Amino acid sequence: MPLGLITGASKGLGRAVARELAAQGWDLVVDARSADALTAALAGSPGAAAITTIAGDVTDPQHRQALARAVGDRPLDLLVNNASRLGPSPQPTLATYDLDEFRRVYDTNVVAPLALVQLLLPALRAAPAAAIVNVTSDASVEAYDGWGGYGSSKAALDQLSAILATEQRDLRVYAFDPGDMRTDMHQAAFPGEDISDRREPETVVPALVALIERRPPSGRVRAADVLAPVGAC
């Protein structure tokens, strides 16, 4: 059985990916801040030989160590750094952004993914075709008012992913942009607005699964491009 580790698996894209990989027979280690939400999200997941749930915050070194212990001596085929922090809602301008909160956004969105990679590199290298998927956003490349904290942190994650790929050429490293989705985080970014026109996270999962299966060269990848018809612009 292949083994994957997915952070932020209690809701949104993380939950959808975990349930799909479980259905395909993957063993999984998953986390989220709420133990109850994590258990409820993956209740009844079919197919996997084992799903290990570990509640905690990815910015906590002890929690990251617990995730690494759950992987143990097994090769790790996939690491999905999906856990993210939006920052304040409504989104403030950079001129008024609380710097302590700004640091927390970076700690979750940039520092924690790198810390997990560092811990899990031996297990990733032990797998025959391991991949790291760092979930990014179009806010990393577009200048949206009020998205200076989250967007700049995801831009940093993009660059981190690109450099990691050049340093770890035996691995595949993807900055995966799922596009706008109907998630709690996206709703928090637009308080009081109707976001029902956004895609459900489950509709993005086939693109991520295809990326893992095809293993194209490392890089920044948009979900819309992975499943685009051949020859489409």
What would the pLDDT profile of 164-223 be if each residue is shown by its tens digit? 999 999 999 999 999 776 555 655 565 666 556 667 888 899 999 999 999 999 999 999
Cis peptide before 90 (omega within 30 of 0): yes
CATH of the domain at 150: 3.40.50.720
Using the Cα atoms of residue 18, residue 84, residue 130 and residue 64 in order, give the sign of their dihedral: negative
Does some domain include residue 33?
no
Of 97, 106, 144, 150, catalytic: 150
* Domain extent at residue 141: 75-226
Task: Count structural domains, the chain.
Answer: 1
Q: What angle do CA 114, 156, 5 make, to 5 degrees?
A: 35
150 annotated active-site? yes
Does some domain include residue 13?
no
**Whether the model pTM is above 0.75:** yes
Six-digit token string for 230 = 């051949």
Q: Say whether pLDDT at 39 is over 70.
A: yes
Strand locations in 2-116, DSSP E? 3-6, 27-32, 51-55, 78-81
Does some domain include residue 231?
no
